[in-house]
Amino acid sequence: MVTKETIRSAPKVLLHDHLDGGLRPATIVELAAETGYDALPTTDPDELGRWFVESADSGSLERYLETFAHTVGVMQTRDAIMRVAAECAEDLAADGVVYAE
């Protein structure tokens, strides 16, 4: 029987991904505070994570695209981009991704 752990640990390839689409909610909140970005729907990381999922799954293109205004909004410094890229690599590795584009 295939388990979630078996799938997670299996080597995977990610052929197309956008850096601005996979930020950790806690990182978004922290970067927003550091940069003065004040347009987040909430500064609670758990609530923000739920908001992102609900928006992405809403069936509304407008709501889905709104999520990127926030991720791009906090990625406006070199340090922010470097942090987000490093966390992306960590998260992909934790999911068993061995190659990503």
Lowest-confidence pick of 2-11, 22-31, 53-62: 2-11
pLDDT of the residue at 24: 98
Residue 61 scores a pLDDT above 90: yes
d(Cα 45, Cα 42) in Å, to the nearest integer? 8
Q: Kindly indicate the confidence band of residue 50, based on its pLDDT and cuts at 50, 70 and 90.
A: very high
| Assessment of whether the complete model's pTM goes beyond 0.85 | yes
Q: Kindly indicate the confidence band of residue 1, based on its pLDDT and cuts at 50, 70 and 90.
A: confident
Residue 45 scores a pLDDT above 90: yes
Tokens for 97, please give them: 């991704």
pLDDT of the residue at 68: 97
Give the residue from 22, 11, 5 showing the smallest Cα distance to 98.
Answer: 11
Longest dimension (CA), the chain: 49
| Structure-derived torsion over alpha carbons of residues 21, 26, 29, 30, reported in degrees to the nearest 10 | -110
Handedness of CA 11, 12, 18, 24 (dihedral sign): negative
Residue 8 scores a pLDDT above 90: no
Residue 7 scores a pLDDT above 90: no
